[in-house]
Amino acid sequence: MAPSAIEGRARRLRQEIERHNYFYYALDRPEISDAEYDRLFNELKELEEKHPQLRTPDSPTQRVGAKPLKEFIQVRHPLPLFSLANARNEDELRSWHSRVSKILADRGIDFAETALVTEPKIDGLAVSLVYEQGRLSRGATRGNGEVGEDVTMNLRTIRAIPLVVRLRPGERAPAVVEVRGEVYLPLAAFEKLNQERAAAGKPAFANPRNAAAGSVRQLDPRIAAGRPLNIWCYQIGYTEGLELSSHWQALEWMKKHGFRVNPYVERHKSFDEAVAACRAWEQRRPEFDYDIDGAVVKVNDYGMQDVLGVVGRDPRWAVAFKFAPSTAITMLLKIGINVGRTGALNPYAIMEPVEVGGVTVSQATLHNEDDIHRKDIRAGDWVVVERAGDVIPQVVGPVIQKRSGKEKSFRMPEKCPSCRSRTVRPEGEVVVRCPNKSCPSQIVESIKHFVSKGAMDIDGVGEKLVERLFRLGLIENMADLYYLDRDGLVGLELSSSVNSKGKLVPHRLQEKSVSKMMEALEKSKQRPFHRVLFALGIRHVGSINAQLLATHFGSMEALGVAVREDIASVEGIGPVIAEAVRDFFAEPHNQETIRRLRQAGLRLSQKPGERQERPLAGKSFVLTGKLASLTRAEAREKIEALGGKVSGAVGKSTDYVVAGASPGSKAKRAQELEKKIIGEKEFLRLLGE
Ligand code: IVH
């Protein structure tokens, strides 16, 4: 190739690759496969290796490669980066709005007619990116707002940050444009990073924000390059040769020119509409794969922004509507142990009550023994508790700095706290178990599972009642529920409380509740066979597996005598499940329970070809983003097994949009069409898992 042709090829490759970076990282809508991308990238790399003079600073191959620094250089921002005043609740947001309206009204501007823009407030690290003649010339941290640190080398490693402004043919870049945004570490990457750090004996980052800040402020850019940082751009600061008249215009300009702008930004005609949008994000916070600590409400028009001005460090034209924090710090009083229905000993934290994500929590899961040791959680520690949406509260980790030395390390009990049997931890498993099949805790938990919504769905027999009936010796297993004596139940003392006069008043089971309970039990006898099979709580037999087994074997009898190979050969069922099924039927007391359930009149068979209950029949799903517990293919399989359909695009007939981490444009479209968007938890619940 002639030198000019080689040069041309390198230039085209650079443009191509940056274009695909833009589609992949900024728009989340790749146009080519990863393999094709790698091919282009490698071709450019080879060309540049052969002809080093072709290696331009803005080549995509040059994102990483700078030498470690000794220290960061301080830089003055061309315009200060302000912070935001907070509104802690809707009232404060309303008073902000009234204040703004009044100031504008005094100047003869009717604010009622003015647009507001709302955006998710990203909990990361603010940065400023200066582009001169279209090229990224400097990236800096916010610092104190006036002076920050030059972290260009690290920011260049973030592929969502364009090295050159994307221009249309014939378009010229503005002489200077300063784009501002929030750098963050996606939640999944944060968790992975902390796991790696724990494995390497390094202290964990307390939250994704610290992890992002720590990564951007690395002197060695190779470390930053190894962390999948990302950015949402939310403002244009200093410009030369670019005239904009509103914030919305700035957002549009950034989107058009290759910057990653959050797809959830919205423009509103009324204040109430803006408030509703903020509220909606708060609800859907668990769906985002990044932390948002609130919503930002901004006056759109630059002219009005100027009139409103800045007080201290906070512009009056914007406000941060803070969400209830999803993490809090509290004292871990004790580590308790729950014995689950499969005998697993589940440690949990008993804590000083604390408000997290808008509710008071005093208990949180601690997963398992290894996890407690990995995070080094001790009784008496101050701990960070996290709660996102409907998710069970979690203990993130201890606040090491607050240790007094009196904290107690955790040891899994050697005896089951419920039945005192010696516990076992099978090799290769993280769970410690109570091996006693007649352990009271396991039995109570299995009865609770039996009556639960996804299983026999026995309304009127709640968890508390199950516990009480068991303690009183009125039931010893799930079958006993169907032999309860109505008269013996009426007037049964459930609990008691102290009244205002200091007297103990018992709460008794009323006639009406007993009737309701009896009706519900009667009704449950009509549940199809596969529901009964699931309700038995056989290990590894969830609702889907129960359906597969029910369809294949047709009856409890046939399944009960089937050999392991036959069970394992059912499509979707493997040897582990088959083994668990065999183990279950091998227990005489399980056989006895089944006999009594049959006697009570439950359905333990289904006619061949009997239409399976297909709870998702006629429902259309669209999947977007990454699910933590399933691949796309698995999710599709499960939806289809339950009678639902999966389609590739959101349309009029879509019933549910399942949004995993980093949902793409489909989620946005779903929002426009006002379709039901559900997160992973709710999706799993829908599948009955
Ligand atoms: S606007 C005056 N928009 O919040 C405008 N800031 O508490 C100030 N932040 O330092 C910035 N998401 O780091 C703006 N969509 C967003 C934001 C956002 C996160 C951060 C930013 C700022 C801090 C102020």
Give the tokens for residue 303: 């002219």
Q: Are strands 656-659 and 620-624 parallel, antiparallel or unpaired?
A: parallel
pLDDT, mean of residues 134-162: 94
Ligand 1 close to Cβ of residue 126 (< 6 A): yes
Mind giving me the DSSP string for 511-566?
A: HHHHHHHHHHHHHHTTS-HHHHHHHTT-TT--HHHHHHHHHHH-BHHHHHH--HHH
pLDDT tens, residue by residue, 597-639: 999 999 999 887 665 567 787 889 999 887 877 888 888 888 8
Q: What average pLDDT is seen over the chain?
A: 90
pLDDT tens, residue by residue, 322-371: 887 778 899 999 999 999 998 999 999 999 999 887 778 999 988 888 88
Ligand 1 close to Cβ of residue 680 (< 6 A): no
Ligand 1 center–CA 124 separation, angstroms: 9
Q: Which of 121, 292, 311 to mutate to test the pocket of ligand 1 (most atoms within 8 A of CB)?
A: 121
Ligand 1 center–CA 11 separation, angstroms: 36
Ligand 1 close to Cβ of residue 320 (< 6 A): yes
- The secondary element (H helix, E strand) that includes residue 43 is helix 34-50
pLDDT, mean of residues 457-461: 90
Percentage of the residues of the chain whose pLDDT score is greater than 70: 98
Q: Is 300 exposed, middle or buried, given 0-12, 13-18 or 19+ CB atoms closer than 10 A? A: buried
- The domains located in the chain, with CATH, are 3-62 (1.10.287.610), 85-322 (3.30.470.30), 324-436 (2.40.50.140), 440-524 (1.10.150.20), 529-600 (1.10.150.20), 620-687 (3.40.50.10190)
What's at 593, amino acid-wise? T
CA 110 to centroid of chain Cα atoms: 41
Q: Which of 77, 81, 84, 127 to mutate to test the pocket of ligand 1 (most atoms within 8 A of CB)?
A: 84
Ligand 1 close to Cβ of residue 121 (< 6 A): yes
The candidate with the shortest Cα–Cα distance to 476, out of 588, 601, 589, is 589
- Residue with structure tokens 């479209």? 669
Going by alpha carbons, the residue nearest to atom 18 of ligand 1 is 121
Ligand 1 center–CA 320 separation, angstroms: 8
Going by alpha carbons, the residue nearest to atom 21 of ligand 1 is 126
Q: Which of 178, 259, 291, 296 to mutate to test the pocket of ligand 1 (most atoms within 8 A of CB)?
A: 296
Say which residues have a Cβ less than 8 Å from residue 591's Cβ, sequence separation at least 6: 560, 585
Ligand 1 center–CA 218 separation, angstroms: 22
Altogether, the residues listed in the chain come to a count of: 689
- The secondary element (H helix, E strand) that includes residue 328 is strand 327-339
Ligand 1 close to Cβ of residue 182 (< 6 A): yes
The candidate with the shortest Cα–Cα distance to 143, out of 83, 205, 233, is 83
The candidate with the shortest Cα–Cα distance to 411, out of 366, 365, 372, 364, is 372
Give the tokens for residue 208: 């994704």
Going by alpha carbons, the residue nearest to atom 23 of ligand 1 is 83
Ligand 1 center–CA 31 separation, angstroms: 31
For residues 647 and 660, give the distance between their C-alpha atoms in angstroms, rounded to a whole number: 16
Ligand 1 center–CA 131 separation, angstroms: 20
For residues 444 and 341, give the distance between their C-alpha atoms in angstroms, rounded to a whole number: 7
Q: Which of 81, 82, 122 to mutate to test the pocket of ligand 1 (most atoms within 8 A of CB)?
A: 122
pLDDT, mean of residues 501-518: 90
Mind giving me the DSSP string for 74-99?
A: EEE-SS-----EEE-SHHHHHHHHHH
Q: Is 631 exposed, middle or buried, given 0-12, 13-18 or 19+ CB atoms closer than 10 A? A: exposed
CA 598 to centroid of chain Cα atoms: 42
Tell me which of 121, 298, 375, 675 is the catalytic residue. Answer: 121
121 is catalytic: yes
Ligand 1 close to Cβ of residue 122 (< 6 A): yes
pLDDT tens, residue by residue, 199-250: 787 777 878 888 999 999 989 888 888 899 999 999 999 999 999 999 999 9
Q: Identify the pLDDT of residue 632.
A: 82
The candidate with the shortest Cα–Cα distance to 565, out of 556, 574, 555, 553, is 574
